[in-house]
Amino acid sequence: EEHRWAGDALLAGTLLVVLGIASVGMAGLGGAYYSWSYGVAGARTMMTVALVLPLFLRRSFPVLVLLSAFALTLIQAVFIQAPVPGDAVVPIVVHAAAAYIPDRRWGYAALGSGLVGSVIAALQWTGFPFDHEPGLLMTIFLAGVAVVGVGYLLGIRQRDRREHAAEQLTAMAER
């Protein structure tokens, strides 16, 4: 636990490289499609980097990471209105909130905002209501719900295991 920053730095650094390269590559492939996004050049790459950078503090300051991810995805929903590779950090942030914030209500809030984000993403990314494809809409929504739900459940499981181990150590120390 005292060197938690090393694991967070490894995770965030790896995601920064992989997702950063993916967002730069997607900008070249889909530039014409996303040029309508209010003329913001490189918005996908900037948003990806902005979403990944807080992961360096994932276990040290999980509330800050959760709030920054919430704010950034809200900005993405308003201004970019398209998926970015950095969206892959959402289940990691939900996991961090469920596992590392002492007050469980933050985990519930992360789960709830992730589920609402799944609805918003499905509606925006399918062109609803103008280009309505119910199958695609449900696929995107259910995939978002599954990914966010798995992140939450793994976080709760990790928290419960850590609390159970602490209880066992306390019981053994009392004997």
40 token code pair: 């913001």
Q: Select the more confidently predicted residue: 4 or 169.
A: 169
Residue type, 167: E
pLDDT for position 23: 79
CA distance 68 to 15: 17
Tell me what pLDDT residue 117 has.
Answer: 95
| Identity at 48, one-letter amino acid code | T
Q: Which two tokens stand for residue 12?
A: 């965030």
Taking the model in full, what pTM does it have?
0.85
